[in-house]
């Protein structure tokens, strides 16, 4: 039966297709075998290959060099010169390419960002996928963590492999069995030799004798080394006790150091041979040998140096240093024969020979240093005085010797000495200053029997002496600059001569200054002296400036600030009394004078100051309000109310009306307060605080409709006042109408788009409504409109997760220009991380002292002081807490969300800054 299956090998009998080449598909074009003779057949031609590729539908490969110049393989124009036109054309093409690339750049980058975002969304990182789970680990308790099972094989797929065992041979088992056995019998060989192969001596081994013999040999060796051996008769210079100690002092030098020493030795040897009269070369060569530990060579070299350079004092001093004291005395004896005028050699010799005093002065009588050293060796003041008397006769132009002699003399004789010194040296300003100090000392030592006139006359004599000294110095051509005189005044202050310092300032402060630059220059001088803690000099400069410019209010304020910081209450009261006499129209000076008297406990004196101030400033609202505060704080409420009534009729300002309403409200007279507010609003309809107080009074009475009407009238009349909008919003929240509160704040943001308070209140409304996401979105919008707001950045930092707060705080510091609120927030972050010292430093940075009352810094924000005190309560000592309280009282803060809420609460009326600070620290959280 015939099979219908096709024959798979039928192609073998078929003819080959046209242009078929065997093995062409795998790259073979022809080959030669060992049995072949001659070369293999040629491969197909290029036309045949192209025809076959076209038949199979393949693309033909384009030869990249088919358009090359046959005569030039590097390009058609490679051999031409590259000229300026070609360079210009290349630049034009490059500019066109860059312009085309820039045109498509934004679209290309946007497309790349979109593709990248799509890729990240489709294939997020494992870290991003488990980020929420990692954040959730912060809430895992210790018990839950301990209950997590250990990682193990729970799949049961991989089973533990069984350990392989091997059969142990019998020989190992037999050897291990006989390892712990003991033989109790001798074999035949051991019986013949007596038990051992090598016979031993009779008797046991005596180890005591062996140890004694070892000790005897060691002692003999030590005796030989120390030179006490009687058997050898030899001795050495080795000290066995100090031998190990001397080994510790041996300095081992490396090969590099030894090489450096050899090269330096060659250089110095060449130097002293080429120039043997060069003393520093001999000194350097000797020091090198000393450093190398060759003291003998060093002494030999320095001896040669003394012979070659006998007139150089440094060589003799180096030679004395390299020898011991006895040899140094001989060296100095030779030195004074060659260099008898050298002060250094005589002083060094005197240090060695303590009984030598007058010998150096016989050879060098005009050396000030020798006289001073000789005087210092004297133990008796009378002997020193005699020596100095002789010294000023020999050296009459030495200021130091004259001043030293004047210090040892009595007051009367010291005057005579200084007069002689002034005649001998008329160009010395030190003598005139010493005379002024002497007169000041004499005036301070006056007893009680002297009258005030005599004491004042003696003090005036100091000023006259310094003035005369300045004139005499100018007459003799000595022109010290103003800065040099001020330095001399500061030196006198450091030495305790305050009056002399003031006299120098009075006599020289006006030197070399243009008339229009005097005020600024003197203020700078006073500030510079204060920066160096020279209070007396600064006080003298300001006192002189006030004599020249008695009508400058800022000068009096500076002087008062200086006395308040470094003076007494009496000096401060004196300055302020003089200030109000010369500047009667300056309200701030009257207020400072009254306040300082009040703080010192002189309430009647404060009343007198304010009464005098009324005569000079009848319509000053600040003085009226200060008087009202003084009476109210001291319990005279009727007097305070009467003063307010008089102030409303005399000054009639919006602030006085507001204080009147506030006063009545504090006393519980709400109806009187509302009546006062109604009258004030008719006079001052644009004053926002009147509407605030009226609305708050109605709200305290639970009259929400009237309060709502007051606030509505307020923000219509004063739409730029953020506090009115915030109070209206809080009223709606208190009434349970959060939606209306949001609407009010939206309207407020339209009117005040850059108000951080309104944005912060909007964020707070969202938080209180339970919408954390809405609060974060609102905060992001607020930061767009107020990018430098410290309040909003603070809220943003605390809304971030804990790991991201530091990064957010760094961005906030850069954007807000080191806002005090951000600095305080950073301190709180360090506090949370238990970095106590860093936190304390940042709290100090947040509340820097104010240079002037007109400049507001972080010290004016009470909330920052509250946070700092809260921190010190937890981590500080009582001294540190008291320091915070004292600084806060000195700063007198008035701002801060929590601080204002507590300070303006009616329950806290009459409480001082310290009490409010404690309450703020309790409330903050």
What band does 233 get if pLDDT is binned at 50, 70 and 90? Answer: very low
Residue 861 per-residue DSSP state: B
- pLDDT, tens digit, 9 for 90 and up, residues 52-70: 777 776 766 666 666 555 5
What are the two backbone dihedrals, phi and then psi, of residue 490, each rounded to the nearest 5 degrees?
-65, -35
Q: Taking the CA of residue 624 as centre, how many other CA atoms within 13 Å lie in the half-sphere pointing to its CB?
A: 24
What average pLDDT does the segment 593-607 reach?
Answer: 85
- Rounded to whole angstroms, the Cα distance separating 117 from 97 reads 29
Q: What is the distance in angstroms between the CA of the first residue and the CA of the last residue of the chain?
A: 105
What band does 437 get if pLDDT is binned at 50, 70 and 90? Answer: confident
Q: Is the pLDDT of residue 362 over 70?
A: no
By the 8 A CB rule, do 235 and 227 touch?
Answer: yes
What average pLDDT does the segment 316-321 reach?
Answer: 84
Residue 895 CB contacts under 8 Å (≥ 6 apart), including other chains:
856, 860, 861, 862
Q: Lowest mean pLDDT of 45-54, 523-532, 689-698, 882-891, name the range.
A: 45-54
Per the model's pLDDT, the better-predicted residue between 34 and 339 turns out to be: 339
Per the model's pLDDT, the better-predicted residue between 417 and 32 turns out to be: 417
Q: Is the pLDDT of residue 779 over 80?
A: yes
Q: What angle do CA 166, 168, 169 make, to 5 degrees?
A: 140
- Rounded to whole angstroms, the Cα distance separating 114 from 823 reads 38
**Average pLDDT of the chain?**
78
pLDDT at 475: 83
- Rounded to whole angstroms, the Cα distance separating 311 from 338 reads 6
- Rounded to whole angstroms, the Cα distance separating 866 from 884 reads 9
* Other C-beta atoms lying within 10 Å of the C-beta of residue 329: 14
Q: What is the DSSP string of 752-814?
A: -TT-HHHHHHHHHHHHHTT-HHHHHHHHHHHHHH-TT-HHHHHHHHHHS-GGGHHHHHHHHHH
Q: Is the pLDDT of residue 306 over 60?
A: yes
- Rounded to whole angstroms, the Cα distance separating 920 from 899 reads 6
What band does 827 get if pLDDT is binned at 50, 70 and 90? Answer: very high
Q: Please name the helix (run of DSSP H) or strand (run of DSSP E) that holds residue 688, with its range, or none.
A: helix 688-700
Selection from 276, 324, 330, 267 nearest residue 301 by Cα: 276
Q: Is the pLDDT of residue 782 over 70?
A: yes
- pLDDT, tens digit, 9 for 90 and up, residues 710-723: 999 988 988 899 98
Q: Is the pLDDT of residue 234 over 50?
A: no
- Rounded to whole angstroms, the Cα distance separating 519 from 525 reads 10
pLDDT at 232: 42
Q: Please name the helix (run of DSSP H) or strand (run of DSSP E) that holds residue 27, with its range, or none.
A: none
- Rounded to whole angstroms, the Cα distance separating 283 from 459 reads 58
Distances from the Cα of 404 to the Cα of 414, 490, 742, angstroms: 10, 21, 84
Burial profile 840-852: b = 16 or more Cβ within 10 angstroms, e = fewer: bebbeebbeebee
- Rounded to whole angstroms, the Cα distance separating 676 from 723 reads 21
By the 8 A CB rule, do 864 and 820 touch?
Answer: yes
- Rounded to whole angstroms, the Cα distance separating 866 from 921 reads 4
- Rounded to whole angstroms, the Cα distance separating 624 from 402 reads 63
* Other C-beta atoms lying within 10 Å of the C-beta of residue 654: 16
What band does 878 get if pLDDT is binned at 50, 70 and 90? Answer: very high
- Rounded to whole angstroms, the Cα distance separating 834 from 622 reads 47
Q: What is the DSSP string of 514-545?
A: -GGGHHHHHHHHHHHHHHTT-HHHHHHHHHHH
pLDDT at 897: 87
What average pLDDT does the segment 249-274 reach?
Answer: 73
Q: Please name the helix (run of DSSP H) or strand (run of DSSP E) that holds residue 47, with its range, or none.
A: helix 46-56
- pLDDT, tens digit, 9 for 90 and up, residues 449-462: 667 777 777 778 88
By the 8 A CB rule, do 224 and 213 touch?
Answer: no
Q: Token digits for 614?
A: 């009324």
By the 8 A CB rule, do 346 and 336 touch?
Answer: yes
Longest CA pairwise span in the chain (Å):
165
Residue 650 CB contacts under 8 Å (≥ 6 apart), including other chains:
618, 619, 624
Q: Token digits for 660?
A: 């009147």
Residue 185 per-residue DSSP state: S
Q: Taking the CA of residue 756 as centre, how many other CA atoms within 13 Å lie in the half-sphere pointing to its CB?
A: 15
pLDDT at 180: 62
Q: Token digits for 223?
A: 């005796």
- pLDDT, tens digit, 9 for 90 and up, residues 4-51: 666 767 777 777 776 676 766 666 555 555 555 555 456 677 777 777
- List helix spans (H) across 293-410: 295-308, 313-322, 325-338, 343-352, 359-363, 368-377, 381-394, 399-408
What band does 231 get if pLDDT is binned at 50, 70 and 90? Answer: very low
Residue 619 CB contacts under 8 Å (≥ 6 apart), including other chains:
650, 651
Tokens 């000195």 -> residue: 890
Q: Is the pLDDT of residue 579 over 60?
A: yes
Q: Is the pLDDT of residue 229 over 50?
A: no
Q: Is the pLDDT of residue 177 over 80?
A: no
pLDDT at 363: 55
The separation between CA 470 and the C-alpha centre of its own chain, rounded to angstroms, equals 45
Q: Is the pLDDT of residue 788 over 50?
A: yes
- Rounded to whole angstroms, the Cα distance separating 539 from 557 reads 13
Q: Token digits for 786?
A: 């107020």
pLDDT at 481: 85
pLDDT at 882: 92
- List helix spans (H) across 65-130: 84-122, 126-129
Q: Is the pLDDT of residue 554 over 50?
A: yes
Q: Lowest mean pLDDT of 215-219, 515-519, 566-570, name the range.
A: 215-219
Residue 621 CB contacts under 8 Å (≥ 6 apart), including other chains:
647, 651, 653, 655, 656
Selection from 797, 804, 856 nearest residue 828 by Cα: 797
What average pLDDT does the segment 726-742 reach?
Answer: 87
By the 8 A CB rule, do 454 and 498 touch?
Answer: no
What average pLDDT does the segment 376-395 reach?
Answer: 67
- Rounded to whole angstroms, the Cα distance separating 526 from 509 reads 11
What band does 228 get if pLDDT is binned at 50, 70 and 90? Answer: very low
Q: What is the DSSP string of 731-752?
A: HHHHTT-HHHHHHHHHHHHHH-
Q: Which long-range contacts (CB under 8 A, 24 or more apart) does 873-881 make?
A: 873/921, 875/831, 875/836, 875/839, 875/840, 876/840
Q: Is the pLDDT of residue 867 over 90?
A: yes
Per the model's pLDDT, the better-predicted residue between 857 and 575 turns out to be: 575
pLDDT at 132: 75
What average pLDDT does the segment 896-917 reach?
Answer: 85
Q: Is the pLDDT of residue 226 over 60?
A: no
Selection from 316, 310, 314, 313 nearest residue 329 by Cα: 316
Q: Is the pLDDT of residue 500 over 70?
A: yes
- pLDDT, tens digit, 9 for 90 and up, residues 64-101: 666 555 555 555 555 567 788 888 888 888 888 888 88
What average pLDDT does the segment 626-655 reach?
Answer: 84
pLDDT at 1: 44
- Rounded to whole angstroms, the Cα distance separating 674 from 661 reads 7
pLDDT at 29: 57
The separation between CA 359 and the C-alpha centre of its own chain, rounded to angstroms, equals 57
Q: What helix, strand, coil percent values describe the chain, rounded to 5? A: 70, 0, 30
Helix (H, G, I), strand (E, B) or coil at 895: strand
Per the model's pLDDT, the better-predicted residue between 439 and 844 turns out to be: 844
Instruction: Give percent of the chain above pLDDT 90.
Output: 5
* Other C-beta atoms lying within 10 Å of the C-beta of residue 683: 13
pLDDT at 866: 92
- Rounded to whole angstroms, the Cα distance separating 785 from 791 reads 13
Q: Lowest mean pLDDT of 25-34, 377-386, 390-399, 484-493, name the range.
A: 25-34
- Rounded to whole angstroms, the Cα distance separating 318 from 328 reads 10
Residues in the chain: 925
pLDDT at 190: 60
């Amino acid at each position: 039966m015939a099979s219908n299956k096709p024959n798979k090998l039928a192609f073998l009998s078929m003819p080959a297709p046209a242009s078929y080449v065997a093995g062409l598909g795998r790259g073979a074009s022809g080959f030669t075998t060992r049995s072949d003779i001659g070369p293999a057949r040629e491969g197909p031609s290029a036309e045949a290959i192209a025809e076959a590729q076209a038949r199979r539908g393949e693309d033909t490969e384009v030869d990249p060099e088919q358009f090359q110049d046959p005569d030039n393989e590097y390009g058609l124009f490679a051999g031409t010169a590259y000229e300026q036109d070609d360079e210009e054309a290349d630049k034009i093409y490059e500019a066109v390419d860059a312009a085309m690339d820039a045109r498509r750049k934004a679209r290309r980058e946007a497309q790349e960002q979109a593709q990248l975002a799509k890729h990240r969304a489709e294939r997020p990182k494992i870290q991003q996928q488990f980020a929420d789970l990692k954040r959730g680990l912060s809430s895992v308790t210790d018990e839950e963590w301990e209950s997590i099972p250990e990682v193990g094989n729970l799949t049961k797929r991989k089973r533990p492999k069984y350990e392989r065992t091997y059969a142990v041979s019998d020989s190992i088992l037999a050897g291990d069995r006989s390892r712990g056995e003991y033989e109790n019998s001798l074999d035949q060989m051991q019986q013949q030799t007596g038990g051992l192969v090598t016979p031993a001596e009779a008797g046991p081994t005596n180890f005591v004798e062996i140890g004694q013999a070892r000790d005897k040999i060691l002692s003999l060796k030590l005796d030989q080394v120390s030179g006490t051996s009687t058997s050898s008769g030899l001795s050495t210079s080795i000290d066995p006790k100090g031998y190990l100690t001397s080994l510790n002092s041996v300095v081992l030098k490396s090969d590099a150091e030894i090489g450096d020493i050899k090269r330096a030795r060659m250089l110095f040897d060449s130097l002293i041979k080429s120039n043997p009269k060069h003393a520093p070369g001999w000194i350097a060569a000797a020091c090198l040998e000393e450093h190398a530990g060759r003291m003998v060579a060093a002494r030999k070299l320095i001896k040669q140096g003394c012979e070659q350079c006998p007139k150089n004092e440094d060589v003799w001093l180096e030679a004395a240093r390299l020898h011991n004291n006895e040899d140094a005395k001989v060296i100095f004896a030779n030195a004074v024969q060659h260099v008898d005028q050298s002060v250094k050699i005589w002083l060094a010799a005197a240090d060695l020979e303590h009984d030598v005093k007058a010998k150096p002065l016989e050879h060098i009588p005009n050396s000030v240093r020798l006289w001073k050293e000789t005087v210092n060796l004297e133990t008796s003041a009378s002997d020193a005085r005699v020596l100095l008397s002789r010294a000023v006769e020999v050296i009459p132009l030495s200021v130091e010797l004259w001043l030293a002699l004047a210090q040892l003399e009595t007051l009367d004789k010291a005057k005579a000495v200084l007069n002689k010194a002034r005649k001998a040296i008329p160009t010395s300003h030190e003598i005139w200053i010493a005379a002024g100090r002497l007169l000041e000392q004499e005036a301070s030592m006056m007893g009680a029997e002297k009258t005030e006139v005599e004491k004042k006359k003696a003090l005036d004599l100091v000023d006259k002496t310094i003035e005369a000294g300045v004139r005499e110095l100018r007459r003799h051509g000595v022109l010290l600059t103003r800065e040099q005189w001020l330095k001399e005044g500061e030196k006198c202050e450091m030495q305790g001569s305050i009056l002399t310092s003031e006299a120098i300032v009075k006599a020289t402060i006006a030197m070399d200054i243009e008339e229009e630059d005097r005020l600024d220059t003197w203020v700078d001088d006073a500030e510079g002296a204060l920066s160096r803690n020279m209070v007396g000099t600064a006080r003298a400069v300001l006192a002189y400036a006030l004599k020249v410019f008695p009508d400058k209010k800022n000068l009096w304020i500076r002087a008062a600030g200086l006395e308040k910081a470094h003076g007494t209450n009496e000096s401060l009261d004196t300055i302020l009394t003089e200030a109000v006499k010369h500047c009667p129209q300056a309200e701030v000076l009257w207020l400072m004078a009254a306040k300082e008297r009040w703080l010192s406990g002189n309430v009647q004196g404060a009343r007198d100051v304010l009464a005098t101030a009324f005569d000079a400033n009848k319509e000053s609202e600040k003085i009226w309000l200060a008087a009202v505060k003084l009476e109210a704080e001291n319990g005279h409420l009727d007097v305070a109310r009467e003063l307010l009534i008089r102030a409303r009729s005399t000054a009639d300002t919006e602030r006085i009306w507001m204080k009147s309403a506030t006063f009545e409200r504090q006393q519980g007279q709400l109806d009187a307060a509302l009546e006062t507010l109604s009258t004030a609003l008719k006079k001052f309809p644009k004053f926002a605080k009147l509407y605030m107080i009226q609305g708050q009074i109605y709200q305290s009475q639970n009259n929400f409709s009237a309060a709502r009407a007051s606030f509505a009238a307020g923000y219509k009349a004063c739409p730029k006042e953020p506090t009115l909008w915030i109070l209206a919003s809080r009223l709606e929240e208190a009434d349970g109408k959060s939606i209306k509160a949001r609407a009010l704040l939206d309207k407020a943001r339209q009117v005040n788009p850059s108000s951080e308070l309104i944005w912060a209140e909007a964020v707070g409304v969202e938080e209180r409504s339970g919408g954390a996401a809405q609060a974060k979105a609102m905060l992001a919008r607020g930061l767009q409109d107020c990018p430098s707001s410290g309040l909003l950045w603070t809220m943003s930092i605390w809304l971030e997760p804990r790991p991201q707060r530091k990064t957010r705080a760094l961005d906030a510091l850069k954007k807000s220009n080191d806002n005090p609120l951000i600095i305080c927030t950073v301190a709180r972050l360090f506090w949370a991380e238990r970095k106590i010292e860093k936190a304390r430093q940042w709290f100090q940075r947040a509340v820097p002292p104010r240079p002037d009352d007109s400049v507001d810094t972080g010290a004016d924000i009470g909330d920052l002081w509250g946070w700092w005190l809260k921190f010190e309560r937890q981590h500080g000592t009582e001294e540190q807490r008291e320091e915070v309280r004292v600084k806060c009282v000195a700063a007198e803060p008035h701002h801060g969300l929590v601080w204002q809420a507590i300070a303006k609460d009616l329950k806290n009326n009459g409480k001082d800054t310290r009490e409010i600070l404690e309450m703020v620290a309790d409330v903050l959280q």
